[in-house]
């Protein structure tokens, strides 16, 4: 359910854009919609899809990209966001996102049941197309690929550490090594979060033990701490595949082949 502040903005957007002939429908999505996986709070943005008739796209785009001047709300800036369409940061730090979609694009609103939408306005002679979200059993991830990619990025991370490129080492560890561990944890214990297509509210859904693991594989911008976390990543990756003998053997093969050289890289002796 939308917060009271968000509802005020939602009402203003509806009042403004529904008055234009080129706007076919207005659709609210995300946490501001009642029944979504995570309820809205004071930090939640407003994700508001503006549906336009195909031949009126440019006209509607101009309307959307000037709406901040018509809302009567103080704002810090407004800009075209490559992911969320037109984005506005209001003076109280509420974020308003206005993606613009064509009426013919029925795939936009094909979402998981956990990601609800709500049609707040549509013209009398217009019916929003929504392709039904077909439930499909998600295939088990290719763990052999995950293990190979993990070790590939482990070498890559070690090489950055060996060259003293700490920012790149930390980033490589976060994006690749840690992400593989996080993905395995999700598949094992939180498959429902995978349905949301991206990580959502881990701190609200994961157990204290799992969050502690994430803390241990994370690091500060300090060489010793980066190396500590580097080895923690290897430890937990090994632990999470240990219950599958085939995967554990594969992991061990790469560990045996690489670990001596990796130690030498970290010591600057390679």
For the whole model, what pTM was predicted?
0.75
Please state, in angstroms and rounded to a whole number, the distance separating the CA atoms of residues 126 and 103: 9
Query: Which of the four CATH numbers 3.40.50.300, 3.30.460.10, 3.40.50.150, 1.10.1660.10 does domain 4-122 have?
Result: 3.30.460.10
- The domain spans of the chain are 4-122, 143-266
The two three-digit tokens of residue 222, written as one number: 């300090």
**Residues 267 and 163 sit within 8 Å (Cβ to Cβ):** no
**Residues 95 and 82 sit within 8 Å (Cβ to Cβ):** no
Please state, in angstroms and rounded to a whole number, the distance separating the CA atoms of residues 97 and 83: 10
Angle separating helix axes 179-189 and 208-216, nearest 10 degrees: 170
**Residues 114 and 138 sit within 8 Å (Cβ to Cβ):** no
**Residues 67 and 13 sit within 8 Å (Cβ to Cβ):** yes
Per-residue pLDDT of the chain (270 residues; tens, 9 = 90+): 778 999 999 999 999 999 999 999 999 988 898 877 778 888 889 999 999 999 999 999 999 999 999 999 999 999 998 777 899 999 999 999 999 999 888 777 766 665 688 999 999 888 887 765 555 555 666 778 888 989 999 999 999 999 999 999 999 999 889 988 888 787 777 766 655 555 567 887 888 998 999 999 999 999 999 999 999 999 999 998 888 898 899 999 999 999 999 999 998 865
- 4-122 and 143-266 in the same fold: no
Domain 143-266 has CATH 1.20.120.330: yes
**Residues 40 and 32 sit within 8 Å (Cβ to Cβ):** yes
């Amino acid at each position: 359910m939308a917060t009271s502040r968000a509802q005020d903005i939602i009402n203003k957007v509806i009042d403004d854009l529904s008055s234009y002939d080129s706007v076919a429908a207005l659709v609210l999505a995300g946490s501001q919609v009642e029944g979504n996986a995570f309820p809205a709070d004071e930090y939640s943005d407003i994700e508001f899809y503006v549906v336009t008739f195909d031949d009126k796209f440019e006209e509607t785009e101009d309307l959307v990209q000037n709406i901040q001047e018509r809302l009567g709300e103080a704002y810090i800036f407004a800009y075209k966001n490559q992911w969320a369409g037109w984005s506005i940061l209001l003076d109280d730090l509420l974020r308003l996102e206005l993606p613009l979609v064509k009426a013919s694009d029925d795939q936009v609103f094909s979402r998981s049941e956990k990601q609800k939408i709500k049609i707040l306005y549509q013209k009398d002679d217009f019916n929003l197309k929504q392709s039904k979200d077909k439930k499909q059993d998600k295939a088990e991830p290719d763990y052999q690929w995950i293990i190979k990619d993990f070790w590939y990025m482990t070498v890559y991370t070690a090489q950055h550490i060996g060259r003293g490129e700490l920012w790149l080492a930390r980033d490589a560890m976060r994006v690749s090594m840690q992400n593989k561990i996080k993905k395995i944890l999700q598949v094992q214990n939180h498959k429902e979060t995978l349905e949301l297509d991206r990580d959502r509210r881990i701190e609200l859904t994961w157990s204290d033990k799992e969050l502690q693991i994430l803390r241990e594989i994370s690091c500060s911008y300090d060489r010793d701490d980066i190396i500590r976390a580097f080895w923690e990543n290897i430890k937990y990756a090994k632990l999470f595949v240990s219950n599958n003998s085939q995967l554990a053997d594969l992991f061990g093969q790469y560990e045996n082949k690489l670990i001596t050289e990796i130690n030498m890289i970290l010591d600057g002796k390679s």
